[in-house]
Amino acid sequence: MPASREVVFVDGVRTPFGKAGPKGLYAETRADDLVVRVIRELMRRNPGLPPERVDEVAIAATTQIGDQGLTIGRSAAVLAGLPKSVPGYAVDRMCAGAMTAVTSVAGGISFGAYDVAIAGGVEHMGRHPMGEGVDPNPRFLSERLVDGSALVMGMTAENLHDRYPSIGKERADAFAVASQEKVAKAYADGRIQRDLVPVATRKAAEGWGLATVDEGPRPGTTLEGIRGLKTPFRSHGRVTAGNSSGLNDGATGCIVAAQEVAEELGLTPRMRLVSYAFAGVDPEVMGVGPIPSTERALRLAGLSIGDIGLFEINEAFAVQVLAFLEHFGIADDDPRVNPYGGAIAFGHPLASSGVRLMIQLSREFAERPDVRYGITTMCVGMGMGGTVIWENLA
């Protein structure tokens, strides 16, 4: 067994992201079927990868019940028609589920336990609203282990505005509008569609349709347009539907492999895993999580923030991105940050988003062969951050 091997990101796809709810794209579509589509498209796009060479299928979901339960990595693998010899498992780190799926299989690949793995995530927030079935231990509050606002993500975002008084609502709104503009441009330039797998969606009353594009983006969003939106988490607060990601349904997946095996199979790696780190913070300001996780990942890689040429940071809330940028001294409109836009426009089906960041980073790398390093990072509920540093192989 080799002591350590280089791990590469080969290819990633995702379903279009839908809006959660009875009118959404996927209102009557099962979560596991979304994962199946992703796995099958990955296999179809990479004919050099024999299905039996997939050594693991790690799929994340935050709410692991119903169509997101039954050890979804395994059940989706079977439903996707992978050989029964291919194992699978389910992962949960809330918003960083898919990211954790990638880092977990990467660890296994590096250790030599796997050659090739599929990692991804799914969240059907329409079928599984945030917090479905949770039963928080009363000790959290009785012993003041966490603040009462810790489990309501919008409240943690408001708390983050408190921690960073320089980040006001106007900055958050401006960042959100820019995100919508970047997504509209990326769509117009055909940057996004190439990694979307169309999904047949059936609604009993309407018949079959086909989801081909994200439902969430609102091109043409203006500052004026979102300025007056309600602040549901605090009266006269700052966090609105306009400067936050939405509630969404979607699935993502990618092929991760040992570099030498990718070469053997003729797969073209797009990025090499440099380092990764997760870190914990106070749950009531979970949005600062990416700061310590990124510092840790940089330290592990022997890099500094100045070495990073591209940032894919999940836009759970604009404030959380801005806090990260402020901490590292990066401008709000730095072109290295989320060049294709982010979750404020695309949407954020919790456990699936980590791989969306990687898909976009890998495509941005391809356009920027001059950039050597990039990061994907995101904040996580219960007070965590996750960061993966990648090297551009383009």
Partner 1 sequence: MSTIETWKALLEGRNADEVVTKALVRDVELPYGAGTMALVTLDNGHDHTKPNTFGPHGLLALDAALDAITARTDVAAVGVVGKPFIFAVGADLKGAAEVSSREEAVAIGALGHHVFRRLGELGVPSFAFVNGAAMGGGLEIALHCAYRTVSSGVPAIALPECFLGLVPGWGGTQLLPRLIGPEKALKLIIENPLSQNRMIKGPDAYALGIADAMFEPADFLEESLRWAAQVLRGEVAVERPDHTAEDWAPVVDQARTLVDLKLRGASPAPYRALDLVALARTASRDEGFAAEDEALADLLMSDELRAGLYAFDLVQRRAKRPAGAPGKALARPVTKVGVVGAGLMASQLALLFARRLEVPVVLTDLDQARLDKGIGYVHGEVDRLQAKGRVSADQANRLKGLVTGSLTKDAFADADFVIEAVFEDLAVKQKVFAEVEEVVSETCVLATNTSSLSVTAMAANLRHPERVVGFHFFNPVAVLPLLEIVRGDATDDATLATAFAVGKALKKSCVLVKDGPAFVVNRLLTRFMGEVTAAADEGTPLEVADHALDSLGLPMTPFALLQLVGPAVALHVAETMHTAFPDRFGVSENLAKLVAAGKPGLYGPDFQIDPEVRALFEGGTSPSTASPSTTDDVRLRALRALAQEIRLMLDEGVVAAPQDIDLCMLLGAGWPFHTGGITPYLDRTGISEEVTGSRFLEPGVASVPE
**CA 90/CA 244 separation, integer angstroms:** 27
Among the listed ranges 129-137, 195-203, 228-236, 337-345, the one in contact with partner 1 (CB under 8 A) is 195-203
Tell me: does residue 112 bind partner 1 (CB under 8 A): no
Closer to partner 1 by Cβ: residue 131 or 209: 209
Binding mask 143-182 for partner 1 (x = CB under 8 A): ----------------------------------------
**CA 49/CA 266 separation, integer angstroms:** 8
Residue from 4, 205, 236, 329 binding partner 1 (CB under 8 A):
205
Tell me: does residue 198 bind partner 1 (CB under 8 A): yes
- Which residues are designated catalytic? 95, 348, 379
Closer to partner 1 by Cβ: residue 59 or 319: 59
Closer to partner 1 by Cβ: residue 165 or 207: 207
Residue owning tokens 């439903």: 79
> Cβ neighbours of residue 369 under 8 Å, at least 6 residues apart?
392, 394
User: In the Cβ-directed half-sphere of 188, how many Cα atoms lie within 13 Å?
Assistant: 8
Number of helices followed by number of strands (H, E) in the chain: 12, 12
Residue from 22, 207, 228, 329 binding partner 1 (CB under 8 A):
207
Binding mask 2-21 for partner 1 (x = CB under 8 A): --------------------
Among the listed ranges 4-12, 63-71, 206-214, 275-283, the one in contact with partner 1 (CB under 8 A) is 206-214
Among the listed ranges 207-215, 225-233, 257-265, 380-388, the one in contact with partner 1 (CB under 8 A) is 207-215
Closer to partner 1 by Cβ: residue 83 or 136: 83
Closer to partner 1 by Cβ: residue 197 or 322: 197
Q: CA angle, corner 84, sides to 80 and 86, nearest 5?
A: 85
Among the listed ranges 170-178, 191-199, 340-348, 360-368, the one in contact with partner 1 (CB under 8 A) is 191-199
Whether the CA torsion 134, 288, 310, 186 is positive or negative: it is positive
For residue 219, the minimal CB distance to partner 1 (Å) is 17
Among the listed ranges 110-118, 144-152, 201-209, 363-371, the one in contact with partner 1 (CB under 8 A) is 201-209
C-alpha to C-alpha distances, 238 to 18, 54, 248, 382, nearest whole angstrom: 25, 46, 22, 21
Tell me: does residue 81 bind partner 1 (CB under 8 A): yes
Burial status of residue 236 (CB atoms within 10 A of its CB: 0-12, 13-18, 19 or more): exposed
Encoding tokens for residue 133?
A: 């079935």
Write the Ramachandran bin of 236: left for phi over 0, alpha for psi from -120 to 50, otherwise beta: left
Report CA Rg, the chain: 20
Residue from 113, 145, 200, 366 binding partner 1 (CB under 8 A):
200
**CA 392/CA 365 separation, integer angstroms:** 6
Closer to partner 1 by Cβ: residue 36 or 172: 36
For residue 76, the minimal CB distance to partner 1 (Å) is 10
Whether the CA torsion 246, 121, 354, 292 is positive or negative: it is positive
Tell me: does residue 47 bind partner 1 (CB under 8 A): no
Q: Count the site residues for partner 1 by CB under 8 A.
A: 20
**CA 83/CA 155 separation, integer angstroms:** 45
Binding site for partner 1 (CB under 8 A): 36-37, 40, 79-81, 197-200, 202, 204-210, 212-213
